[in-house]
């Protein structure tokens, strides 16, 4: 009976150990979890995934920082501009998706994404309707660039003199953001109705959308979850000079497919940048106790054409490349000489930093990043940081430009950030706990196998010890022959 029990324990221990190792090698339970995540990450009406995509619960904040010019007269004489950063002016951003329609048997979803901004005085340094900023006079600079070497050049100069316009102007933060009626643009509007008489860096962008998007639902392939396939009814852009540069790649940056690896590139299409870009793995960390991968823009995205020849397609007109870290987007901004970069020219050519006194690029404050949970693809923390600059130069046709040097002049930058809320974090932790339990089943089986193995060894040793400890009389035969 004891031998049978011993054999049973030994066989059970061996079976459990072999089973656990087989399950670990075959990734059986990991595959089960991955399959469940894939099946659950689909834009389907009535699911939690769809509800979170349609109206994201974590609060989004948009912070605006301005560069106030403190030596405008000296700049016009050719001196180095001295700017002072003022901000933040913080707004709560609401961005629900509306007019959602399912297309092609649920494989695609179309939607508009209007954004509404509500001022948050407690998170701001001042009152945007009171605080004044001296900055580049973008309408005047744009008008001069439009009309130089054209029959309208003289008329533009007359208007600039009539309205006493100069290269720099003073307006409130509110006016610079949401718009003010400009006298010069109002006059041009009479001749060219397509020119908006109101100027503001975010004019007509509060309570409005940037066009209809068509997304893939992830029904066919989880890797295509929320990937953009159309914007404003088109499958590609038309601003740039190569097919690759005009491609619409990736998502809108708010959601990603599950099961993200460190080796892949994360693609995003941004209408603000008028292009697609990609992010690469930077580091691992945690947000609210949840594991994350941090992705940041690749240095190749805004590299000069010597480092990345593929970026030549973004040089408009062809061959007109501003340098590393700066993108000329005037072609998609009605011809206004707008250039985009990271705040304080972070990761841009050192020349841009040295041209403006007051630039202090720092990774922790000026880098765009995404902290993504690799299992679910959910964004737990993110910051989109973008600087708006104006290209200014001496135009001999217009005395308003004085002797100013050719500059990429910083006007303002934004920090659009999001952090997962407590309720969403709690739900995600519960999901990850369930996944960990399932994935940990082979280890539980292995632990049981080890326990039974120890029991087997103990019983075997005890049985052997009992046999060795028996006396000589006990081992002698019962019937003696002599």
Render pLDDT for 104-131 as a digit per residue (tens, 0 to 9). Answer: 999 999 999 999 999 999 999 999 999 9
Regarding predicted confidence, which is higher, 234 or 40?
Answer: 234
Q: Output the pLDDT for position 414.
A: 97
Regarding predicted confidence, which is higher, 14 or 288?
Answer: 288
**Residue 295 in tokens:** 């992705």
**Residue 4 in tokens:** 């049978």
The kind and range of the H/E element at 71 are none
Task: Evaluate if residue 61 carries a pLDDT over 70.
Answer: yes
Task: Evaluate if residue 471 carries a pLDDT over 60.
Answer: no
Q: Output the pLDDT for position 40.
A: 77
pLDDT in tens, 203-232: 999 999 999 999 999 999 999 999 999 999
Which pLDDT band, with edges at 50, 70 and 90, does 150 fall under? confident
Q: Output the pLDDT for position 482.
A: 47
pLDDT in tens, 375-386: 999 999 999 999
Q: Output the pLDDT for position 192.
A: 85
- Among 250, 257, 253, smallest CA distance to 220 is for 257
Q: At what angle do helices 183-191 and 153-162 cross, to 10 degrees?
A: 140
**Residue 20 in tokens:** 């656990």
The per-residue DSSP string of 297-335 comes to: E-TTTT--TTT-GGGGGG-SSTT----TTEEE-GGGTTT
Q: How far apart, in Å, do the first and last CA atoms of the chain sit?
A: 35
pLDDT in tens, 63-100: 999 999 999 999 999 999 999 999 999 999 999 999 99
Q: Output the pLDDT for position 435.
A: 60
Task: Evaluate if residue 136 carries a pLDDT over 90.
Answer: yes
Q: Which of 12-26, 84-98, 150-164, 303-317 has the highest mean pLDDT?
A: 84-98
* Beta strands at 132-136 and 168-172: parallel, antiparallel or unpaired: antiparallel
Task: Evaluate if residue 451 carries a pLDDT over 90.
Answer: no
3-state SS of the chain: helix, strand, coil percent to 5? 35, 25, 40
Segment 272-300 shows an average pLDDT of 95
Helices (H), 151-194: 153-162, 173-178, 183-191
Average of per-residue pLDDT values in the chain = 87
Q: Output the pLDDT for position 79.
A: 96
Task: Evaluate if residue 404 carries a pLDDT over 80.
Answer: yes
Q: Are 57 and 380 in contact (CB under 8 A)?
A: no
Residues 6+ apart with CB under 8 A from 327: 273, 275, 302, 314, 339, 340, 341
């Amino acid at each position: 009976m004891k031998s049978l029990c011993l054999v049973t324990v030994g066989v059970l221990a061996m079976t459990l150990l072999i089973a656990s190792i087989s399950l670990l090698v075959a990734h059986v339970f990991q595959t089960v979890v991955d399959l469940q995540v894939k099946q659950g990450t689909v834009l389907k009406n009535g699911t939690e995934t769809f509800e979170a995509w349609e109206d994201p619960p974590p609060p989004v904040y948009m912070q605006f920082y301005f560069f106030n010019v403190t030596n405008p007269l000296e700049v016009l004489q050719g001196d180095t501009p001295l700017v002072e950063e003022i901000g933040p002016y913080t707004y709560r951003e609401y961005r629900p998706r509306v007019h959602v329609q399912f297309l092609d048997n649920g494989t695609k979803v179309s939607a508009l994404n209007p954004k509404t901004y509500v001022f948050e005085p407690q998170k701001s340094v001042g009152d945007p309707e009171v605080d004044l900023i001296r900055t580049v006079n973008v309408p005047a600079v744009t008008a001069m660039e439009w009309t130089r070497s054209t029959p309208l050049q003289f008329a533009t100069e007359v208007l600039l003199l009539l309205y006493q316009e100069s290269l720099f102007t003073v307006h409130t933060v509110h006016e610079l953001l949401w718009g003010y009626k400009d006298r010069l643009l109002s006059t041009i509007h009479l001749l060219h109705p397509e020119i908006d008489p109101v100027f503001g860096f975010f004019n007509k962008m509060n309570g409005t959308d940037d066009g209809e998007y068509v997304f893939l639902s992830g029904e066919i392939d989880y890797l295509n979850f929320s990937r953009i396939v159309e914007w404003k009814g088109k499958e590609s852009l038309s601003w740039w000079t190569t097919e690759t540069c005009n491609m619409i790649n990736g998502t809108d940056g708010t959601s990603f497919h599950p099961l993200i690896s460190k080796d892949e590139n994360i693609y995003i299409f941004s209408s603000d940048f008028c292009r697609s870009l990609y992010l690469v793995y930077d580091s691992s960390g945690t947000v609210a106790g949840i594991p994350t991968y941090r992705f940041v823009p690749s240095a190749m995205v805004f590299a000069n054409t010597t480092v990345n020849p593929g970026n030549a397609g973004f040089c408009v007109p062809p061959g007109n490349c501003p340098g590393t870290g700066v993108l000329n987007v005037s072609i998609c901004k009605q011809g206004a000489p707008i250039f985009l970069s990271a705040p304080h020219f972070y990761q841009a050519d050192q020349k841009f930093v040295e041209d403006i006194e007051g630039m202090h690029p720092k990774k922790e404050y000026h880098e765009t990043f995404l902290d993504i949970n690799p299992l679910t693809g959910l964004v737990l923390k993110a910051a989109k940081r973008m600087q708006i600059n104006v290209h200014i130069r001496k135009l001999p046709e217009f005395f308003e430009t004085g002797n100013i040097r050719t500059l990429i002049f910083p006007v303002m930058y934004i920090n659009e950030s999001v952090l997962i809320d407590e309720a969403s974090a709690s739900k995600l932790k519960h999901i990850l706990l369930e996944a960990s339990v399932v994935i940990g089943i082979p280890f539980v089986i292995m632990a049981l196998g080890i326990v039974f193995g120890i029991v087997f060894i103990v019983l075997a040793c005890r049985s052997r010890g009992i046999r060795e400890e028996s006396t000589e009389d006990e081992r002698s035969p019962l019937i003696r022959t002599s």
